[in-house]
Structures are given as structure tokens and as C-alpha cells.
Chains A and B, each alone.
Chain A
Amino acid sequence: MIKRKNTKNKKKQSNFAKLSIFQNNKFKFKKSCPLSVKGAPIIDYKNIKLLKKYMSENGKILPSRITNICQKKQRELSLSIKRARNLALI
């Protein structure tokens, strides 16, 4: 029994370590969404600078688990990125 418990604990720790790669906070793991704060920029397919922030170097959309964007805003983002791709802006 003791051994089993130990293995479980180890698994949890490894997951923790993975999370902490992307997030700098030592104690808080949930950060608020950067695009739903007051005074945040509006998501738009014309605003290339904003869209490029949330894309990888190869032009892929970054997952929300890395960027901490809420579901609603992530949907808007992905839609506007696809629009910009169609116009060859990105």
C-alpha cells in the first residue's frame, strides 16, 4: 500500500513540474485571462500585432492552456486568426 501511495504522489509531482514551465507564479497556478481585463485590446483580424502574440513561430495557434485565455476569447481569437490567414496578412 505504501508503495502505491508513493507512486501516486510522484505522478502528481511530475504534472506540477510540467505546469510550472509555462507559468511563472510559484503558488498560484490559475492566472486570469489577459484579454478579458478592463482596457484590454479588442480582438480583430486587422490587429496583426495582437494576433502574432498568440501564435507560434510556425504560424500555429497556441493552445489556451499555455496562454491562459478564457474559452470565449480563444474562440474569437482563432476565428480572427483564420480570417487574417485568408487575406495573407499573417
Chain B
Amino acid sequence: MNLYEHTIVVKQEISPSQIEKLTEKYSKIVEKNDGNIVQTQNWGLLNLSYVIKKNKKANYIHFKIKANGKIIKELEKNESIDQNLLRYMTIKVKKFDLETNYFSKNDEIGKKEYNKN
């Protein structure tokens, strides 16, 4: 079992209820194949730094997954077909840090780090 961080970039027109369906859909794929989702984060609507397929904004969803490599292949296979998505990325990590959320709406975490520097 490996630890993965997986992020999805969803188109801006898609409503919040549909986004929940998407997260459920992909978390089911992982859980069916004996994977484990440790955490899901919804970063919300963010400005893209450059235009992707005529979209200026997008929703970001972030998963922290504990699973085998085969499951990631399955996930990416399904996501490459999906028309609601703009991008996806998986990264293998040695350790999760579950506490910090860099995109949470209250900026306390960001301010703390700024003070340190």
C-alpha cells in the first residue's frame, strides 16, 4: 500500500451538487478496490493562472488516498474520459500532513507562517 495525493480540477459551470456527486463517484472507485480514502478537501472556486479550454476559474478537489498503484491507474482511466474535468494529478508521498489546509477560507494558517518568516 502506498500513499498518494490526488487532485482534480473541475470546470467552473458545474454546480456544487454535481461536484459532490463527482467526489462520491471517484471515492467509490477507490473503496471498491480495497483502497482507503484518508481525507478529502474541497478547495472551492479558485482563479486559474492561465486559461484552460476557455475556463478562467475552476473548482479543486483534493484526495488523500492509501491504496495500491493499480487503483490509481483505474482512477486516471476514468478521469481521462470525464468531460467535467480539466486536469488531474497524482503524487506519491511518504507522509501525509493532515492538519494544514493551504486553501481554507480563514487565513489563520497562512498568517502564522508569514509571521515566522
Contact = CB atoms under 8 A, between A and B. Distances in A.
A73 interface: no
Interface string A64-90: 000000000000000000010111111
B7 A87 contact: yes
Given A48-B102, A49-B102, A87-B7, 8 more contacts: A46-B102, A49-B113, A83-B91, A86-B89, A87-B60, A88-B49, A88-B58, A90-B49
B89 A46 contact: no
Interface string B42-65: 000010111010000010100000
A47 B9 contact: no
Interface string B79-117: 000000001010100000100001100000010011011
17 contacts: A41-B117, A46-B103, A47-B102, A48-B102, A49-B102, A49-B110, A49-B113, A50-B113, A83-B89, A85-B49, A86-B87, A87-B7, A88-B9, A88-B49, A88-B50, A88-B52, A90-B49
A48 to B, nearest CB: 7
Contacts of B58: 88
A90 B91 CA distance: 18
Interface string A37-56: 00101101111111000000
Contacts of A41: 113, 116-117
Contacts of A45: 91
B91 A88 contact: no
Contacts of A90: 49
Contact of A88 (B48, B110, B116): B48
A41 B103 CA distance: 16
Contact of A87 (B87, B97, B102, B116): B87
Contacts of A59: 49
Contacts of A46: 102-103
Nearest to A39: B116
